[in-house]
Amino acid sequence: MPRVTPEILRWARESAGFSLGRAAESIGLKDNRDETAGERLAALEGGGRQPSRTLLLRMAQKYRRPLLTFYLSAPPPKGNRGEDFRSVPDKQTESEPLVDVLVRDVRARQAMIRDILLDDEAHQRRSFVGSATMADGIEAVLESIREIISIDIAEYRDQPTPEKAFALLRSRVESSGIFVLLLGNLGSHHTAIGVEAFRGFALADDIAPLIVINDQDAVVAWTFTLLHELAHLWLGQTGVSGRSPDLQIEKFCNDVAAAFLLPARELKLVGVRPSESTQSVLRQIDAFAEERHLSRTMVAYSLYRASVINETTWRAVASWLLVQWRKNRDAKRERRKDSKPNYFVVRRHRLGSALLQFVARNIQDGNLAPTRASKILGVKPRSVAPLLNPVSTAGVKAA
């Protein structure tokens, strides 16, 4: 049997975002009289002993790597995310390995979707992908997006809740041929990726364009992220987006999203004056944003871009809103501890109607086997049928 190099074992674990202790627990190592489970894994990664094939199989599953990867002589080059639109390197987070795994996983799913679509003679290329440049201007790009997804701000605001408003926008985007996924972890809450790491990313492909939104974010922020990533698709830019608006392309995509949700002519309705205190600004933003299903951070950003508030106030407001959002998020998690939502209902919401219908249609037509369908959906093969059949999943718990 070929030897496994220690460097490969360390790389596979670290690139999957696991600490030594959590990895040891995940792959089923146990403490013994002389060593803890973490120490046993450290010995394997130090070259003191070789892993068994059974252990390698568990590593391959938990680290989300093909078994053959472990027999490489050296780690492969870092996976291609496309452009990194988020921030300068010293601002990046310890969740970087998780972001890499997520992007790699979604790229693999998209590749399978693309192959199937290419075999469909009736499928049309999405000509809007890469159809614009920043030189075209914000309004031109936004007008093109509005035309393709067929929605206006009045219809969006007429929805009774932020959840309904996002659902409407998402359905129109998916109807245009774009897959929209809500993914903020690698399958469990232990691998949750915070919004500090990424808010969304776009895979700009004219056959199978795809957008991922970090569902760890606030619901009102999902809409802004979706519009932001649409702008990336129009620019033909594949990449990861985050909280930082420092790069020019991020400013442009932010401005496209903000122009849809909050036209410049409405900014004066916020009522903020340049000389007001941060707390006064926050109070007025709060009332204005709630009425229109808007992200408070987005309203503050729009005020800053319009020079209504200065950069110091904008950053102070954004920091305060982030702290409050974290508190609200944690409080909601505590309230939900006693209630476990149906696994399939949650999974359907994350995957979106476009992807579910695509998989169901191609299984029915014989173009897609359940095993491959499970990889596209990111579930176990036995979960494919109940996931695609809402009637049969009533009361069924997670597999």
Task: Provide the CA 313 distance to its chain's centre, in angstroms.
Answer: 29
Q: Which of 82-86, 125-129, 278-282 has the lowest mean pLDDT?
A: 82-86
Does residue 219 form part of some domain?
yes
- pLDDT classification of 371: cutoffs 50, 70, 90: very high
Q: Which of 86-90, 226-230, 313-317 has the lowest mean pLDDT?
A: 86-90
As a whole number of angstroms, the distance between CA 40 and CA 84 comes to 36
Does residue 76 form part of some domain?
no
**Where are the extended beta strands (E) located within the chain?**
83-84, 179-182, 200-203, 210-213, 239-241
356, 387 contact by CB (below 8 A):
yes
Residues 11 and 134 in one domain: no
Residues 88 and 185 in one domain: yes
Does residue 17 form part of some domain?
yes
Report the pLDDT value the prediction gives residue 164, as an integer from 0 to 100: 96
**What sign does the CA torsion over 237, 242, 245, 251 have?**
positive
Residues 368 and 238 in one domain: no
335, with CB counted inside 10 A (0-12, 13-18, 19+), is: exposed
Residues 285 and 197 in one domain: no
Range of the domain at 173: 84-242
Residues 182 and 125 in one domain: yes
Please compute the mean of the pLDDT values over residues 120-124 and round it to a whole number. Answer: 87
Residues 311 and 379 in one domain: no
Report the pLDDT value the prediction gives residue 158, as an integer from 0 to 100: 94
For residue 245, pLDDT over 70 is answered with: no
For residue 93, pLDDT over 60 is answered with: no
Report the pLDDT value the prediction gives residue 85, as an integer from 0 to 100: 42
- pLDDT classification of 110: cutoffs 50, 70, 90: very high
184, 192 contact by CB (below 8 A):
yes
Structurally, the chain folds into a number of domains equal to 4
Does residue 72 form part of some domain?
no
Please compute the mean of the pLDDT values over residues 75-89 and round it to a whole number. Answer: 48
Structure tokens at 139: 């309004």
Residues 369 and 281 in one domain: no
As a whole number of angstroms, the distance between CA 103 and CA 225 comes to 16
The better pLDDT of the pair 147, 196 is held by 147
Does residue 59 form part of some domain?
yes
The better pLDDT of the pair 248, 339 is held by 248
| Single pTM value for the model | 0.77
For residue 159, pLDDT over 80 is answered with: yes
SS3 180: strand
As a whole number of angstroms, the distance between CA 222 and CA 241 comes to 13
Residues 51 and 98 in one domain: no
The CATH number covering residue 59 comes to 1.10.260
The better pLDDT of the pair 127, 251 is held by 127
As a whole number of angstroms, the distance between CA 56 and CA 229 comes to 38
Does residue 70 form part of some domain?
no
Report the pLDDT value the prediction gives residue 397, as an integer from 0 to 100: 39
Label residues 368-392 b or e (16+ Cβ within 10 Å = b). Answer: beeebbbebbbbeeebbebbbeeee
Residues 184 and 268 in one domain: no
Report the pLDDT value the prediction gives residue 394, as an integer from 0 to 100: 40
For residue 362, pLDDT over 90 is answered with: yes
As a whole number of angstroms, the distance between CA 57 and CA 67 comes to 6
**What sign does the CA torsion over 153, 157, 158, 160 have?**
positive
Residues 296 and 352 in one domain: no
User: Which of 65, 97, 114 lies at the terminal end of a domain, its last residue?
Assistant: 65
User: Which of 14, 33, 65 lies at the terminal end of a domain, its last residue?
Assistant: 65
As a whole number of angstroms, the distance between CA 18 and CA 27 comes to 11
107, with CB counted inside 10 A (0-12, 13-18, 19+), is: middle
User: Rounded to 10 degrees, what is the CA torsion of 70, 198, 350, 190?
Assistant: 60
Report the pLDDT value the prediction gives residue 246, as an integer from 0 to 100: 54
SS3 205: coil
Please compute the mean of the pLDDT values over residues 18-23 and round it to a whole number. Answer: 88
Does residue 311 form part of some domain?
yes
Report the pLDDT value the prediction gives residue 191, as an integer from 0 to 100: 76
Average pLDDT, the chain: 85
DSSP assignments along 332-379, one per residue: HHHHHTT----HHHHHHHHH-HHHHHHHHHHHHTTSS-HHHHHHHHTS
SS3 288: helix
Does residue 43 form part of some domain?
yes
As a whole number of angstroms, the distance between CA 114 and CA 108 comes to 10
Task: Provide the CA 236 distance to its chain's centre, in angstroms.
Answer: 18
Number of residues written out for the chain? 399
Report the pLDDT value the prediction gives residue 1, as an integer from 0 to 100: 55
User: Which of 242, 275, 310 lies at the terminal end of a domain, its last residue?
Assistant: 242
Residues 166 and 136 in one domain: yes
Structure tokens at 203: 């895979």
User: Which candidate, 223, 108, 115, places its Cα nearest to that of 173?
Assistant: 223
As a whole number of angstroms, the distance between CA 222 and CA 200 comes to 9
For residue 145, pLDDT over 90 is answered with: yes
As a whole number of angstroms, the distance between CA 227 and CA 145 comes to 9
Residue with tokens 């110091």: 312
Please compute the mean of the pLDDT values over residues 8-13 and round it to a whole number. Answer: 89
As a whole number of angstroms, the distance between CA 301 and CA 308 comes to 10
Residues 103 and 159 in one domain: yes
Helical (H) or strand (E) element with 390: none
